[in-house]
Amino acid sequence: MRITKAIFSSCLLAATALAQSPRGFTPRTRHHLGVQYGDIELHLGEELPQSVPDASTPTVFSYRHLPGTYMILLTDLSIPFMFFPDNETSTLAPGLGKNRTTRLHWWQTDVTHDAWTSGFCYPNASALAPYAGPQPPSGDGFHQYVFWLFRQPDRFQAPPASLVSDWQDPGSDARFNFSVPALVAQVGEPISANFMRVENAGNPGAPTAPSGR
């Protein structure tokens, strides 16, 4: 049993030493955020079938106690510029890689941590952007989806009501071009993170990437 505990401790230390968001994107954090879809726990950078994260809102947890109030976000960092007119690309929030921007998939506010269960609790009504599962374009390869945990300041000011209203629709174009660095400038660095890689597997609900662009 001691050997098992030693191995587990070594693996845990190794995991916490790694950046928990994709390489090449800022912000970064070394603290791991637990994410689970049903019985499937997300391992750092794991490839998941699109049907898994698309089915339901995940359970988010942390084994270290985090008093206070937080926000959980999910962002796609791999949206191709081809979805936007050429005259708009210069103002897009940078994503991961060349000619890539972002999309907001979830922004949950008023999140608290339950030290007994390790899970996070929140009222559904407080979601600035309700959870929307991954919809990467067909033929565009794997997209990087990052879960972020941020501390929610006492006097946190949400974005304009008109934008939040648009975010209530999971398919709204207003969810494109979401700047994570801008949020960091407002509320501080992320507390923890985790990410998954998801590729379109013929889902008819996702847009199709034009050929030759």
> What distance, in Å, lies between the first and last C-alpha atoms of the chain?
56
Give tens-digit pLDDT for 51-63: 999 989 999 999 9
154 pLDDT more than 60: yes
Q: Which pLDDT score is estimated for 211? A: 38
Please state the φ and ψ torsions of residue 73, each to the nearest 5 degrees.
-130, 155
- Reduced to 3 states (helix: H, G, I; strand: E, B; else coil), residue 199 is strand
- Reduced to 3 states (helix: H, G, I; strand: E, B; else coil), residue 83 is helix
Per the structure block, which two tokens stand in for 2? 């001691």
* Domains detected in the chain: 17-199 (3.90.280.10)
pTM: 0.86
Q: How confident is the model at residue 6 (pLDDT cuts 50, 70, 90)?
A: very low
Tell me: the pLDDT tens digits for 33-49? 999 999 999 999 999 99
**Alpha carbons 48 and 66: distance in angstroms, whole number:** 28
For residue range 77-131, what is the model confidence (pLDDT) as tens digits? 999 998 888 878 889 999 999 999 999 999 999 999 999 999 999 987 789 999 9
Over residues 185-200, the pLDDT tens digits come to 999 999 999 999 999 8
Q: For residue 203, name the pLDDT band (cuts at 50, 70, 90).
A: low
Q: Which of 198, 201, 199, 194 is nearest to 42 (CA)?
A: 194
